[in-house]
A and B are shown apart, each in its own frame.
Chain A
């Protein structure tokens, strides 16, 4: 590659100008651009077309090198001048440093130190604005940062430090809301917080659609969900707040029900759905409300399995549905009597019947091919063993005498394990994966804990 054709400062100026050019960019792509004809960085190394911002991938090494030179220079200036909480640093330097970091992170989104420096500069700017105006509420301050991060995530959705920064920004916003909520039980503030969280959740959906099963997006969504539950359900006697939170959780659950139909292998979504359902059942006070939630939960799973019975994640969703339902009965049982035991027994029996119907299907048809049928059979058999094991291990949460249930379930799990081993030995292998050796099931079935 030739010597750098333009200076570090020019590289940053070129790119930073595009970041602020109307219409503001919303999509970033590092790719092969059509125009650059040689190795030198110039204006054609970057392109902005409406809301789309592109960086020429072959030029990235030199662009990164240029930006880093500037970054190191600014960093040393800041460290030298940072003797008074940063207040001695000129605005010009702060702006240029921020632009430099913005450009660097577009290429290296997991650069922990760059994110740290960015936070320092944001804190400095925020403090300056707050010092200048007592009534400064600060919410709008974070708009540009959110916009920048939304842009970054269109290209780099798997950078842990980028998500860490997003969470940090959210916490700064949350502090503002908590301060407003503390001053008075201002339902306007509560509504705004919910709106803010909803926007953040919408981002998670956009990212999850573009980058399926994105661990960070779904984990962040879970963080937002818990934040809403913790911050809005502030008093047990505030029914409005509780209803609003329950409504939010129900809408999230409905979203998952629908999402899984179009993203049948999205385990992250299934896990999140389980967390939402657990929270919803905890908040729901009426028995009829809880029963409705449980019914819809299992129904959604049944509908999915009718269509996608050969998919592992859809069977795991069934495990989640079973677990959440089972646990919710166990939590209630301290207030109830034998009805709860009957509900649990009925749940397990119904699930065995349900799972068995899939396990027993023996012939491929026009609706299910041989390979899919094998998958369906093994997943359903595993499901039956899994739920029986779960029920056995967690039945000690039941205050009542569960020994008769225990005996029945122990018999059933042994029966299922035998059946699995028989089918396994005929097929000579579990087609959905070479695992599940007999040893595993021997341990599950005949371990000391089951007597």
Chain B
């Protein structure tokens, strides 16, 4: 098991209370491991209606698994190094220069990022095929930037802040983010303009929407703050305190987080909101203990996986974000004491002494060891009354003073 640093708890009170279920580690590993055969089955409804976004589905399952078991076990279980990587390259669309959601489809920025994230997990970003495709991929991404700094998803011009995040994150993974000099090179991305466009999407309530003037939404907020972090322009946030307040108000009675006022709590917002608060240095604004309990109650205690809310059907999307949420809370990283007791209250089913989980990075949504290995850069805000960020997973990022 590749060890990860045990972190000081990222959130105040991230330990779960005694009424929360245990974390069903083995069940979740088995759920993910058997997912492919279920999805690819001819009788699978979910498989039938999500075939076009298989690339993202694979990213979610692999990253979730990567947080639970060491890299070599991920490869053994999922044939990451071989079958999956080969499949990823079959989804390269030479017409557009981007990767598509499945074979014989058009390239799109969403799936380009998912493909690169999978290759990053597999440590295949230096694969010769990718080296050969890289100039066209960069050109594809660059071509999507609009005059106002925003990014379209593909040639058809639909703009969304998600696409800006995908574009900058993809360029960072390719090591091309800072090879820009917009004055000299028409083929480059104007990062500052991208950042200013994102800043224009901030609303009076502190949140961000999918475009200027659109309603604040926790998912869109993550993409916007992610962009500003990657671009190292968190200074463009007009009111980080108000944004943090807005995010804190997303916590419901159940302990779960919703994405907008008076919506139901949904496990996926454990990621969108916690990752944002991690970057802003405000994870303590959420009551971690209650959120952790909520996530744990969304587990399927028979077949594994995590659902959007308790008693609903599980899916890989929510499984990934639920596990990531627990990681950001520090719940997965509580250390066992010398006497065998778990200092974090959380008990892991079939816990093996000494198990340590990889941590998820809140900016790039990849394990932190992958982010560090690739030297990915970003920016975070300083935590109040602290000289550095509270969580070791962010220590390699610049801090906005």
**Residue of B43, B110, B209, B245 with highest tally of chain A CB at under 10 A:** B245
Q: Measured between alpha carbons, how far is A435 from B48 in the docked complex, in Å?
A: 40
**At the interface, yes or no: A447 with Cβ under 8 Å from chain B?**
yes
Q: Measured between alpha carbons, how far is A57 from B43 in the docked complex, in Å?
A: 11
CB of A225 to closest CB in B, whole Å: 9
User: Which of B52, B205, B241, B248 contacts A447 (CB under 8 A)?
Assistant: B241
- In the bound complex, do residue B45 and residue A60 qualify as a contact, i.e. CB atoms below 8 Å apart? yes
- In the bound complex, do residue B285 and residue A112 qualify as a contact, i.e. CB atoms below 8 Å apart? no
- In the bound complex, do residue B284 and residue A439 qualify as a contact, i.e. CB atoms below 8 Å apart? yes
**At the interface, yes or no: A218 with Cβ under 8 Å from chain B?**
yes
User: Which of B47, B53, B255, B262 contacts A265 (CB under 8 A)?
Assistant: B262
The interface size bin for chain B is: 35 or more
Interface bits A244-269 vs B (CB < 8 Å: 1, else 0)? 00000000000000000000011110
User: Which of A222, A267, A439 contacts B285 (CB under 8 A)?
Assistant: A439
Q: Which residues of B contact A127 (CB under 8 A)?
A: none
User: Which of A62, A219, A393 contacts B209 (CB under 8 A)?
Assistant: A219
Q: Is the interface of B mostly helix, strand, loop or mixed?
A: loop
- In the bound complex, do residue A107 and residue B48 qualify as a contact, i.e. CB atoms below 8 Å apart? yes
User: Which of A219, A267, A274, A435 contacts B248 (CB under 8 A)?
Assistant: A435
Q: Which residues of A contact B26 (CB under 8 A)?
A: none
Taking A65-B48, A111-B52, A440-B245 as contacts, is the C-beta distance between A267 and B262 under 8 angstroms?
Answer: yes
The interface size bin for chain A is: 35 or more
Cβ-closest chain A residue relative to B155: A116
Interface bits B221-253 vs A (CB < 8 Å: 1, else 0)? 000000000000000000101101100111111
CB of B55 to closest CB in A, whole Å: 11
CB of A76 to closest CB in B, whole Å: 8
- In the bound complex, do residue B216 and residue A271 qualify as a contact, i.e. CB atoms below 8 Å apart? yes
Q: Measured between alpha carbons, how far is A216 from B212 in the docked complex, in Å?
A: 14
CB of B321 to closest CB in A, whole Å: 17
Q: Which residues of A contact B242 (CB under 8 A)?
A: 389
**At the interface, yes or no: B122 with Cβ under 8 Å from chain A?**
no
- In the bound complex, do residue A60 and residue B209 qualify as a contact, i.e. CB atoms below 8 Å apart? no
Interface bits A142-168 vs B (CB < 8 Å: 1, else 0)? 000000000000000000110010011
CB of B148 to closest CB in A, whole Å: 14
- In the bound complex, do residue B285 and residue A435 qualify as a contact, i.e. CB atoms below 8 Å apart? yes
Q: Which residues of A contact B205 (CB under 8 A)?
A: 316, 319
Taking A57-B45, A107-B48, A108-B51 as contacts, is the C-beta distance between A435 and B106 under 8 angstroms?
Answer: no
Q: Measured between alpha carbons, how far is A215 from B253 in the docked complex, in Å?
A: 23
Interface residues of B in 273-293 (CB under 8 A from A): 284-287, 290
Q: Measured between alpha carbons, how far is A272 from B104 in the docked complex, in Å?
A: 39
**Residue of A60, A215, A390 with highest tally of chain B CB at under 10 A:** A215
CB of A77 to closest CB in B, whole Å: 13
Cβ-closest chain B residue relative to A439: B284
CB of B99 to closest CB in A, whole Å: 12
Q: Which residues of A contact B248 (CB under 8 A)?
A: 435-437, 440
Interface pick from B57-65, B125-133, B137-145, B156-164: B156-164
CB of A329 to closest CB in B, whole Å: 15
Cβ-closest chain B residue relative to A216: B210
**At the interface, yes or no: B215 with Cβ under 8 Å from chain A?**
yes
Taking A107-B48, A219-B211 as contacts, is the C-beta distance between A437 and B42 under 8 angstroms?
Answer: no
Q: Measured between alpha carbons, how far is A58 from B100 in the docked complex, in Å?
A: 28
CB of A272 to closest CB in B, whole Å: 8
Q: Measured between alpha carbons, how far is A268 from B216 in the docked complex, in Å?
A: 9
Q: Which residues of B contact A218 (CB under 8 A)?
A: 215
**At the interface, yes or no: A364 with Cβ under 8 Å from chain B?**
no
- In the bound complex, do residue B106 and residue A437 qualify as a contact, i.e. CB atoms below 8 Å apart? no
**At the interface, yes or no: A186 with Cβ under 8 Å from chain B?**
no
Q: Which residues of B contact A433 (CB under 8 A)?
A: 249, 251-253
Interface residues of B in 197-213 (CB under 8 A from A): 203-205, 209-211, 213
Taking A65-B42, A113-B105, A440-B248 as contacts, is the C-beta distance between A311 and B262 under 8 angstroms?
Answer: yes
User: Which of A61, A110, A311, A390 contacts B47 (CB under 8 A)?
Assistant: A61
- In the bound complex, do residue A435 and residue B287 qualify as a contact, i.e. CB atoms below 8 Å apart? yes
User: Which of B45, B214, B261 contacts A316 (CB under 8 A)?
Assistant: B261
Q: Which residues of A contact B47 (CB under 8 A)?
A: 61
**At the interface, yes or no: A72 with Cβ under 8 Å from chain B?**
yes
CB of A174 to closest CB in B, whole Å: 13
Taking A167-B158, A271-B216 as contacts, is the C-beta distance between A114 and B52 under 8 angstroms?
Answer: yes
Q: Measured between alpha carbons, how far is A308 from B110 in the docked complex, in Å?
A: 41
Q: Which residues of A contact B104 (CB under 8 A)?
A: 72, 75-76
CB of B91 to closest CB in A, whole Å: 11
Taking A62-B42, A215-B217, A267-B261 as contacts, is the C-beta distance between A443 and B384 under 8 angstroms?
Answer: yes
Q: Measured between alpha carbons, how far is A111 from B262 in the docked complex, in Å?
A: 30
Taking A60-B49, A62-B42, A65-B42 as contacts, is the C-beta distance between A437 and B285 under 8 angstroms?
Answer: yes
Taking A75-B104, A164-B158, A440-B245 as contacts, is the C-beta distance between A435 and B251 under 8 angstroms?
Answer: yes
Q: Which residues of A contact B210 (CB under 8 A)?
A: 215, 219
Interface residues of B in 61-118 (CB under 8 A from A): 100-101, 104-106, 108, 110
Q: Which 3 A-B pairs have the closest CB atoms?
A: A265-B262, A164-B158, A113-B105
* Additional A-B contact list (18), CB under 8 Å, known A75-B104, A161-B158, A434-B253: A60-B48, A60-B49, A110-B52, A116-B156, A213-B260, A215-B217, A219-B215, A271-B216, A312-B262, A319-B205, A389-B242, A434-B251, A436-B248, A437-B248, A439-B285, A439-B384, A440-B244, A447-B241
Q: List 28 A-B contacts (CB under 8 A).
A: A1-B43, A61-B42, A61-B47, A61-B48, A62-B42, A64-B49, A108-B52, A110-B53, A112-B52, A112-B105, A112-B108, A112-B110, A113-B100, A113-B106, A113-B108, A114-B52, A116-B154, A160-B160, A219-B210, A219-B214, A266-B262, A271-B215, A319-B205, A433-B252, A434-B255, A435-B250, A437-B285, A447-B241
Binding site for B on A (CB under 8 A): 1, 57-58, 60-62, 64-65, 68, 72, 75-76, 107-108, 110-116, 119, 160-161, 164, 167-168, 213, 215, 218-219, 222, 226, 265-268, 271-272, 274-275, 311-313, 316, 319-320, 323, 327, 382, 389-390, 393, 431-437, 439-440, 443-444, 447
